[in-house]
Chain A
């Protein structure tokens, strides 16, 4: 089966500053890829390209069979074609980004009703099922501000799942959480991985990466320096800079 995400020699610039350098990466269906690297290395930018929140200038990026338009194409066509791709690509953010003026249930049911044109009844039934799955069935009528960070992030995951995505992107999903709430979010993600969801995860949780990842990608200054199984990356890193990075983050 063809890979669901394919980067071929992708370059991205902010002005004259190059953020991504010649990225080549394939993600197979059902695979869990964890992207690690120092802050500012371009790892968030990398996964934000997958659903078009960031534009790339050169190379080719194919997501779920769609050719993602590059920056030049985007100037011409705008966001229009991207909406179709995004329906199938879920994204979970560091800051949750729940809609503060809508209840938990409305947050989850909004896109299925408005984008997938499901009936409200059906969308809310699905939303309740997803809430139960992330352990928050009793919170449906609350507003995001009434929930803890961990609960909000679990709602955000349910909101993405409601669109029945083919691939889920996680952009540092636990970085904004108090330490005691990290576990509940990772548990939900662990379950998703076990069910065979394709996932691209940017995280600093190395223990989680080792446990869940099929492959780990180490990115440094916009280039992918090393890709391999968790064991290969964490136990026997080949690249000198990977070794330095891991020795820094694994110390504590």
Chain B
């Protein structure tokens, strides 16, 4: 009897001649790529650039004496993120190991930067995430408090971070806060647009449909740019910061997409549900808030989480309106003559962080999909 690795390889890699040929091509190439990457990462790369520039990549040009504000905001957000993951991942060992490894990696990389205070803060943030996860996964009673916790926690984090003014915001923390703010704002607006599109009041229906179709047909960056230009025209006496204008632009754009997701959810609610609610004498408000929307939103939660990933990735475009997001911060570091030749190191780090956060979001979306499909 052949050992199982051989049988596995026979079945999966060399089942047909074409299969075998492709395997012979792909496997050595892949191994060589991994080897080359490992050699570079372990021998040639100068990772010290990350330690030196970590602060800029995380918070941009945030004033150094107010750094505790940024860290406090990060700790609050970490706790909330941990709690949200705990909602869907309760005891998947791989996920937990992955999370722990990520936390250790973050702290270790900061320790390598020889900044003890930062490493300490990072450890606190990781512990906060773990605590949030524990509370949510092990104490189901805390679940109901999560939306409120998000609202208060996010407002608090934003308020603390905004101490030196919105214009100081930058780096990864800006990207994350932008993503959360836009996601949170687009949901209610998207729901209203979706309901408006189904309204029997023609003027409302036409306006909502036009809005959705227009903003789905134009590129994001045009909308962001346009808002950036128009806001000062409408409010000439008010200096609105770039961050706020960015949030408005992204919200204006993405709520059209959320509206379409919600609409697909509304269509998934059986007609009988509406008929039953109507038969009980419910008005349109009660019908929607109590019967239709809870079911519709549940159907589209995975899509909405996916939309959040789109927002996060699209947040890289805010550099066009002069903001220093995570990607832009990395480029700023490369503009420094000391680090000018360390392009690969910086971009490899950007790639890894985007990949880690993006994977976390898609992983959450998939777990949600699974638990919503099987559960009630």
A and B part of one assembly: yes
A residues neighboring B (CB under 8 Å): 51-53, 78-80, 82-84, 86-87, 89-91, 93, 95, 97-101, 110-111, 114-115, 143, 145-146, 156, 159-160, 163
Q: Which chain B residue shows the least CB distance to A114?
A: B286
| Contact of A93 with B272 at beta-carbon distance under 8 Å, contacts A83-B282, A114-B282, A115-B282 already known | yes
Q: A52's closest neighbor in chain B, by CB?
A: B278
Q: Does B200 contact A (CB under 8 A)?
A: yes
Residues A86 and B376 in contact, CB atoms below 8 Å apart? no
Give the distance in Å from the alpha carbon of A160 to the alpha carbon of B276 in the complex: 9
A184 to chain B, nearest CB (A): 20
Q: For the complex formed, measure the closest distance between the CB of B170 and the CB atoms of chain A, giving whole angstroms.
A: 42
Main secondary structure of the interface of B (DSSP, over half): helix
Of residues 266 through 315 on chain B, the ones whose CB sits less than 8 Å from some CB of chain A are 270, 272-273, 275-284, 286, 290-291, 294-295, 298
Contact at A53–B275, with CB atoms within 8 Å? Answer: yes
Residues on A with C-beta less than 8 A from B286 are 114-115
Q: Can you name 6 A-B pairs with beta carbons within 8 Å?
A: A91-B276, A93-B275, A93-B276, A98-B276, A99-B277, A115-B280
The answer, among A111, A145, A160, for a CB contact under 8 Å with B282, is A111
Asked if B280 contacts A163 (CB within 8 A), the reply is: yes
Min Cβ gap B343→A in Å is 52
9 A-B pairs besides A91-B279, A115-B280, A163-B280 with CB distance below 8 A are A53-B278, A80-B283, A83-B283, A86-B278, A93-B276, A97-B272, A97-B276, A100-B376, A115-B283
Q: In the complex, A35→B282 CA distance in Å?
A: 27
Cα A51 to Cα B278 in complex, Å, equals: 9
Question: Is the Cβ of A97 less than 8 Å from the Cβ of B376?
Answer: no
State whether B281 touches A163 (Cβ < 8 A).
yes
A contact residues around B270 at 8 Å (CB):
95, 97
| Cβ contact within 8 Å between A90 and B272 | no
**Whole-angstrom CA separation of A99 from B296 in the bound complex:** 12
A79 lies within 8 A of B295 (CB): no
Partner of A51, one of B200, B272, B279: B279
Residue numbers in B under 8 Å from A146 (CB-CB): 376
Whole-angstrom CA separation of A25 from B234 in the bound complex: 64
Q: Evaluate whether A101 and B276 lie within 8 angstroms (CB atoms) in the complex, with A114-B282, A115-B286 already known.
A: no
The minimal Cβ–Cβ distance linking A79 to chain B, given in whole angstroms, is 7
**Shortest beta-carbon contacts, A-B, top 9:** A97-B276, A111-B280, A87-B281, A91-B279, A97-B272, A86-B281, A114-B286, A115-B281, A143-B376
| A159 vs B276: C-alpha distance when bound (angstroms) | 10
Cβ contact within 8 Å between A101 and B279: no
Known: A78-B200, A115-B286, A143-B376. A160 touches B280 (CB 8 A): yes
